[in-house]
Chains A and B, each alone.
Chain A
Amino acid sequence: MTVKELAERLELKILVEGDLGREVTGCYIGDLLSWVMGRAPEDSAWLTVMGNINSIAVATLADVSCIVLVENAALDENARQKAEMHEVNILLTQENSYHLAVKLHELLQ
């Protein structure tokens, strides 16, 4: 499934459009950046409340397919700019990580 399909199926708002054609093969949840960076699998959708500039670096380095900001977490303006520069997909939902992950799991089955 692509990031675009993911956004459509789960009704996620696209905040930054990077490469929406990227495949999503899994999901990772976490807000502690060092933890996430070391453990988030490549090509996963990363569910977090951290919308700061360091999140963009972590997403790039861990090579996740998108960041999904849950519970309407805010995206900092400098983070948005950096995401646009590095073509990092950023999506937004009002759901919490658990509920979104359950739905995502069903989609990826």
Chain B
Amino acid sequence: MSNAIHLHYDVSGEDFTRAGEASGLVKKTLKKLGYNTDAIRRVAIAMYEAEINMVIHAEGGYCDVDIYPDRVEILLADHGPGIPDVDKAMQEGYSTAPDNVRTLGFGAGMGLPNIKKYTDDMRIETTLGVGTNVYLTVVVKA
């Protein structure tokens, strides 16, 4: 669609200090465009969780964001190890994150469940040893 605003961000896999930059910038953009606070919050939270996932599990990746008047579509792609059992990963409390991540307040197995909770559509394509694509849609209610 030609009327979408397209944004692209690389997510650094080096450390946590830059995680949240992409979601923060998208949040700012949506605010400027006048989207409602509920939609902005849901997009920002879902994206941040996904960014954190990429940092913890996949050494970074990228996200593409398409902003339409009625919805925001987000693709988060990485070349990490893939998710062996998606159903398990979607369970609240299930986590494979290392201990050092837990001391930072993450790794509680809330990431993917949170993303699902805050989006209207979520699709995961994952191949072991190749990577993971997560497609998200947040519908903007007027």
Cα distance, A82 to B18, chains bound together (Å):
10
Cα distance, A10 to B104, chains bound together (Å):
28
Classify the interface of chain B: helix, strand, loop or mixed: helix
A49-64 with Cβ < 8 A to chain B: 50, 52-55, 57-58, 60-63
Interface residues on B, range: 20 to 34
A94: Cβ under 8 A from any B Cβ: no
In the complex, the answer to whether B41 meets A61 with C-beta atoms within 8 Å is: yes
B14-55 with Cβ < 8 A to chain A: 16-17, 19-20, 23-24, 27, 37, 41, 44-45, 48-49, 52
Q: Which of A32, A42, A50 counts the most chain B CB atoms within 10 A?
A: A32
Nearest CB in chain A: distance from B101 CB, A: 10
CB-CB < 8 A to A61: which residues of B? Answer: 20, 23-24, 27, 41, 44-45, 48
Cα distance, A52 to B108, chains bound together (Å):
17
Closest to A78 in B: B17
In the complex, the answer to whether A34 meets B49 with C-beta atoms within 8 Å is: yes
Nearest CB in chain A: distance from B121 CB, A: 18
Q: How many residues of A contact B (CB 8 A)?
A: 22
Task: Choose one: B37, B48, B110, B118; the contact of A57 (CB below 8 Å).
Answer: B48
Enumerate 26 A-B pairs (CB-CB under 8 Å) in ascending A order. Answer: A31-B105, A32-B108, A32-B110, A33-B105, A34-B52, A34-B110, A35-B108, A35-B110, A37-B49, A37-B114, A38-B118, A42-B41, A52-B105, A54-B19, A54-B105, A57-B20, A57-B23, A58-B48, A60-B24, A60-B27, A61-B23, A61-B44, A61-B48, A62-B45, A82-B17, A86-B24
Chain A contacts to B: CB under 8 angstroms: 31-35, 37-38, 42, 50, 52-55, 57-58, 60-63, 78, 82, 86
